[in-house]
Amino acid sequence: MVMAIFKTSLKDNSDVTSIAPVFNILFGEKNWLFAFEDKVLSVMSSIPCVEVVRHLLNERGFFCEEVTSYA
């Protein structure tokens, strides 16, 4: 499994709730996490997922950029 980390424009629980169904289906309920304080989305996947995550968020009107280093 590989972890991909994304800076996003998701703001609140309703934004996260709007992406949850598709993320649960694609990655599994316990394989993704959103940190509200930093607006960072972490996704664990056994396949490359960066383009898929970026597309899913952009399609819903959210900014999404992969973060290569996160502290």
pLDDT value of position 70:
59
pLDDT band at 32 (very low <50, low <70, confident <90, very high): very high
pLDDT band at 69 (very low <50, low <70, confident <90, very high): low
At residue 36, does pLDDT exceed 90? Answer: yes
Residue 47 Rama label (left phi>0; alpha psi -120 to 50; beta): beta
pLDDT band at 68 (very low <50, low <70, confident <90, very high): confident
CB 58 within 8 A of CB 64: yes
Q: What are the chain's domains? A: 2-67 (3.30.70.100)
Residue that has been written with the tokens 């309920």 in this structure? 29
